[in-house]
Structure 1
Amino acid sequence: MGKFDVTVIGSGPGGYVAAIRAAQLGFKTALVEKYDTLGGTCLNVGCIPSKALLDSSEHYSNAKENFSEHGIDVGNLSVDLNRMVERKRAVVEQTTKGIDFLMDKNKVTVFHGLGSFKDQNTLEIKGDEVREISSKYFIIATGSKPASLPFIKIDKEKIITSTEALELREIPQKMIVIGGGVIGLELGSVYQRLGAEVSVVEYMDRLIPGMDADLSKELRKILKKEGMDIQLKSKVTSVERTGDKVEVQFENNKGESQSIEGDICLVAVGRKPYTEGLGLENVGVELDEKGRIKVDEHLRTNVENIYAIGDVIRGAMLAHKAEEEGILVAEQLAGQRPHIDYNLIPSVVYTWPEVAGVGKTEEQLKEEKVDYKTGKFLVRALGRARASGDIDGFVKILSDKKTDEILGVHMVSARAADMIAEAVTAMEFRASAEDLARISHAHPTYMEAVKEAALDATEKRAIHS
């Protein structure tokens, strides 16, 4: 039986980062992963492969729609989806091998197999063989899996989840997406760019419901302009497959019954925590009403030596949130006092243009009765945006009416996923809108929109609007 100081269960972004940090701090560390490759959902069937396909499809869309405007004639275009998928697989393989390298470099012992608690210090690992290891501390980082609706039968052929959507071998003529959140819109965008007709059915009254309402409105406008059919305030009542077709019935926003027929239905109604097979009942680890592992402010479960991080606990299901939590637990075990400001964890949607936000939304500030100012700047006013042709979107900055401290930053823009980092940095140091406005931003860049929005929040001093 192997003996370890820290054992991490799950090798996604939260798990492998926690293992690396624990090893850096001098703990004898083990990492347990039930699949053959490391990296979890994010690297294997989530963030990385979806961005690979998003980039490939965006290249095709640009060549088809925009190159001629730039004086580039590419003639007849075609899509080889199989090659796109193979490239995606290569990107995934390269990335997961990078995690293997990091485990070796940091002397983390890796076990492949399903980890299940026998008691609070012993883990049974069922892989090619059954073995047991003991550990002083455990960090559960088993992540999440796609959720569904009770009446939907996922057949992984015509009625699919995000996992299967990353492996399609044919471009569907008609794709129906149930769910207007991040996953549904990103994967819907991939196949719409490649030529599919895409319909999105969303239960809530807006897309990306957790983000600022202005972002939802702008993204909906852009996606509709690109040809995506969007049904909001629509409750799906049945999903039935007949041969090679799928029919989705729903009640629209007027309470009327409607149906859409397609050849693929992507169910993207969110994700749920994954705890099956962990043997939590053997050690008495408590779950909440949503099946998440209960943790305190130190991310410790009710069992004193067992911690949990990432999608399997409360909070946003984001890879970078899990990473921060993994580092926090490892450093706490080493006697340090790290902290996470959950208000400053950014959210990103990788459509094109991209959508990003951090801090409070305008709706939250109104609900909390906070006096605030708004600064807004349209991307189309930027010289860089006009030069590239990416003119859709805006940057919005919310700041305290009295102190001018930045409370939230929300944007739809080309490269917003990278631009949001400046906002996070500014808010981490509790900068005011005027602080951000007085920083010199290179010209011509998209980042100038952040400066201009900050100027607009500071006594409406924007220069270029």
Structure 2
Amino acid sequence: MAHLEQLDALILGSGTGGKLLAWHLARSGYKTAVVERRWIGGSCPNIACMPTKNEISSAKVAHVERQAGEYGTLADSVKVEMATVRRRKRAMVERQVAKHLQIYQASGAELIMGSGRFVATKTLEVNLNDGGTREVAADKVFLNVGTHAAIPHVPGLQAAQPLTHVEILELDYLPRHLIVIGGGYSGLELAQAYRRFGSDVTIIESGPQLLAREDIDVSQEIWRILSSEGIRVLVAAELLRVSGRSGDKASVVVRTLSGEQQIDGSDILVAAGRIPNTAGIGLDKAGVELDARGFIRVNDRLETSAPDVWAVGECAGSPQFTHISESDFRIVRDNLAGANRRTRGRLVPYCMFTDPPLAHIGVSEGEAERQGIITRVAKLPMDSVLGAQATDQTQGFMKALVGDGDDRILGFTMIGAAAGEVMAAVQMAMLADLPYSSLAGAALAHPTMAEGLGALFSVVPPREVQQASSKAAA
């Protein structure tokens, strides 16, 4: 039996929230350890956010080079070497991992590489990657175990050994025809990237539209952009069965409104949701309750059902973004110091890094309607923005929602070049509780994409309340 080691703080999982807590607590004098199965720093720098954007940037270079003639630059035919794309991505990941290891050493937090399982309250048995076991306990425990890709229960799909976002980033060849199962954010990013590398691409989405949580005009515009690059999109397509093997020959049969179709491809990418990594790690022995979907049940202070045990990031049901895991860290950190910060009411911005990208913050039109919130909607096509005209980046639009009872900005969506950076300007206005007129009347630099905010907020309709009062007075 391994000797029980007593710590002040123990973190299971080294994702963003977990590692930031570890570094902070260790620097604050706590004897702290992090247990991590494989990915030093979590999924973001290894297999998710950063490496996908690295490969997307490689794909954009290939796309721009093919379009170079339109810009007055004559280029020879484009050839993509996926082995070089992968090598570039791996080099970036290695730099990230090396930086993480430096910070661990400087902070004093111990990184234990192995698989952890609770054997008692706040007590973890760790099967070390290099052999042997350790048993560690702590006064305070933090869970940051993340999620993994869901593989739908479809006959033949598991046997076809499909790619997930992890495996596709390791390809050293170009798929002849990539079939993407799932029309969500990561699926669309990778679909466009591989189309630009040179693959034929088909997207299969079971729901009635791409990007299920977005407004229909957003979904339709993204569909139009992807289709214009030669990507085939099927929605309301029920996946019935799969045959063959991804990486060789694979076929999928789907039921659509027009009947059954068979799609023959070479590779299959599954991007159909996420499952929390909470099974098989002894959370019941730790007194930690799960919700019906397997996520860790937390309150709005990110406290679990077990005393002195917290959960942060995706496993706690937080929105699945790195910056929100970092926000979770700040909430827990400050509350440990005596504050009373909560997750309730925080603004959650996000971006999809297609080209052009999609950015959103706050309430959407659909959400406002479902919640009974009366809003005023302003919309501006990107071809009305002078910066977009100057650079010929005119796809997409901006859309803002403003409260009807006051002039606060409730939501913002943009499909267009530099959408994430433009959204950040709106986010600052929302955080400062500024009226939309502050942006409508601002002298925004010309010719930038953000300059379009002035035009967008200048076409906000008048309040319905004011209109009703004017009619009554008349």
Question: Could you tell me which residue of structure 1 aligns to residue 71 of structure 2?
Answer: 70
Question: Could you tell me which residue of structure 1 aligns to residue 370 of structure 2?
Answer: 367
Match of 2:273 among 264, 270, 279: 270
Q: Contact (CA 8 Å) 2:408, 2:435: kept in 1 or not?
A: yes
Structure 1 residue identity aligned to 2:17: G
After superposition, the C-alpha distances for 1:51-102 in whole angstroms (9 at most, x for unaligned) are 000000001100112x212221122321111000000011111112222222
Q: How many residues get paired?
A: 457
Question: Could you tell me which residue of structure 2 aligns to residue 46 of structure 1?
Answer: 48
Spell out the pairing of 1:168-317 with structure 2 (5 A cutoff). 168-241=171-244, 244-254=248-258, 256-317=259-320
Question: Could you tell me which residue of structure 2 aligns to residue 136 of structure 1?
Answer: 139
Q: Contact (CA 8 Å) 1:146, 1:272: kept in 2 or not?
A: yes
- Counting aligned pairs with the same residue, the percent is 30
In structure 2, do the counterparts of structure 1 residues 63 and 437 end up closer, same or farther at CA, with 3 Å as the change threshold?
same
Structure 1 residue identity aligned to 2:89: K
After superposition, the C-alpha distances for 1:150-171 in whole angstroms (9 at most, x for unaligned) are 1255669862111111111211
How far apart are 1:20 and its partner, in Å?
A: 2.6
How far apart are 1:338 and its partner, in Å?
A: 2.8
In structure 2, do the counterparts of structure 1 residues 191 and 157 end up closer, same or farther at CA, with 3 Å as the change threshold?
farther
SS at match of 2:284: helix
After superposition, the C-alpha distances for 1:329-349 in whole angstroms (9 at most, x for unaligned) are 122122223344555111211
Gaps of 5+ in 1: 461-465
Question: Could you tell me which residue of structure 2 aligns to residue 59 of structure 1?
Answer: 61
How far apart, CA to CA, are the structure 2 residues paired with 1:152 and 1:317?
29
How far apart, CA to CA, are the structure 2 residues paired with 1:156 and 1:342?
43
Using the size of structure 2 for normalisation, the TM-score is 0.92
How far apart are 1:421 and its partner, in Å?
A: 1.4
How far apart are 1:133 and its partner, in Å?
A: 1.9
SS at match of 1:86: helix
Question: Could you tell me which residue of structure 2 aligns to residue 102 of structure 1?
Answer: 103
How far apart are 1:458 and its partner, in Å?
A: 6.0
Spell out the pairing of 1:30-45 with structure 2 (5 A cutoff). 30-35=33-38, 37-45=39-47
Structure 2 residue identity aligned to 1:62: V
1:456 matches 2:459: yes
After superposition, the C-alpha distances for 1:204-258 in whole angstroms (9 at most, x for unaligned) are 111111123322111111111111111111111111116921111111134x111
Structure 2 residue identity aligned to 1:96: V
How far apart are 1:26 and its partner, in Å?
A: 4.3
Question: Could you tell me which residue of structure 1 aligns to residue 331 of structure 2?
Answer: 328
How far apart, CA to CA, are the structure 1 residues paired with 2:375 and 2:85?
46
Q: Contact (CA 8 Å) 2:161, 2:245: kept in 1 or not?
A: no
How far apart, CA to CA, are the structure 1 residues paired with 2:275 and 2:434?
36
SS at match of 2:138: strand
How far apart are 1:29 and its partner, in Å?
A: 2.3
How far apart, CA to CA, are the structure 2 residues paired with 1:330 and 1:89?
32
SS at match of 1:160: coil
How far apart are 1:112 and its partner, in Å?
A: 1.0
How far apart, CA to CA, are the structure 2 residues paired with 1:373 and 1:26?
51
How far apart, CA to CA, are the structure 2 residues paired with 1:239 and 1:180?
18
How far apart are 1:439 and its partner, in Å?
A: 2.8
State the Cα RMSD in Å.
Answer: 1.9
In structure 2, do the counterparts of structure 1 residues 130 and 55 end up closer, same or farther at CA, with 3 Å as the change threshold?
same
Q: Contact (CA 8 Å) 2:242, 2:253: kept in 1 or not?
A: yes
How far apart, CA to CA, are the structure 2 residues paired with 1:342 and 1:170?
45
How far apart, CA to CA, are the structure 2 residues paired with 1:342 and 1:407?
12
How far apart, CA to CA, are the structure 1 residues paired with 2:26 and 2:216?
42
In structure 2, do the counterparts of structure 1 residues 361 and 24 end up closer, same or farther at CA, with 3 Å as the change threshold?
farther
SS at match of 2:400: strand
In structure 2, do the counterparts of structure 1 residues 161 and 342 end up closer, same or farther at CA, with 3 Å as the change threshold?
farther
Q: Contact (CA 8 Å) 1:21, 1:331: kept in 2 or not?
A: no
How far apart, CA to CA, are the structure 1 residues paired with 2:279 and 2:54?
30
How far apart, CA to CA, are the structure 1 residues paired with 2:426 and 2:18?
27
Q: Contact (CA 8 Å) 1:21, 1:327: kept in 2 or not?
A: no
1:120 matches 2:121: yes
In structure 2, do the counterparts of structure 1 residues 425 and 323 end up closer, same or farther at CA, with 3 Å as the change threshold?
same
How far apart, CA to CA, are the structure 2 residues paired with 1:431 and 1:416?
20
Q: Contact (CA 8 Å) 2:159, 2:245: kept in 1 or not?
A: no
In structure 2, do the counterparts of structure 1 residues 252 and 76 end up closer, same or farther at CA, with 3 Å as the change threshold?
same
Match of 2:398 among 365, 388, 395: 395
1:412 matches 2:415: yes
In structure 2, do the counterparts of structure 1 residues 203 and 423 end up closer, same or farther at CA, with 3 Å as the change threshold?
same
How far apart, CA to CA, are the structure 1 residues paired with 2:331 and 2:386?
42
How far apart, CA to CA, are the structure 2 residues paired with 1:314 and 1:356?
21
Which sits farther off after the overlay, 305-314 or 54-63? 305-314
SS at match of 1:159: coil
SS at match of 1:233: coil
In structure 2, do the counterparts of structure 1 residues 194 and 48 end up closer, same or farther at CA, with 3 Å as the change threshold?
same
SS at match of 2:152: coil
Question: Could you tell me which residue of structure 1 aligns to residue 467 of structure 2?
Answer: none
Q: Contact (CA 8 Å) 2:155, 2:240: kept in 1 or not?
A: no
Structure 1 residue identity aligned to 2:33: A
Q: Contact (CA 8 Å) 2:312, 2:318: kept in 1 or not?
A: no
How far apart are 1:25 and its partner, in Å?
A: 4.5
Structure 2 residue identity aligned to 1:134: A
Which has the higher relative contact order, 1 or 2, with Cα contacts under 8 A spaced 6 or more apart?
Answer: 1
How far apart, CA to CA, are the structure 2 residues paired with 1:279 and 1:15?
19
Question: Could you tell me which residue of structure 2 aligns to residue 382 of structure 1?
Answer: 385
Which sits farther off after the overlay, 430-439 or 172-181? 430-439
Structure 1 residue identity aligned to 2:95: Q
How far apart, CA to CA, are the structure 1 residues paired with 2:342 and 2:391?
40
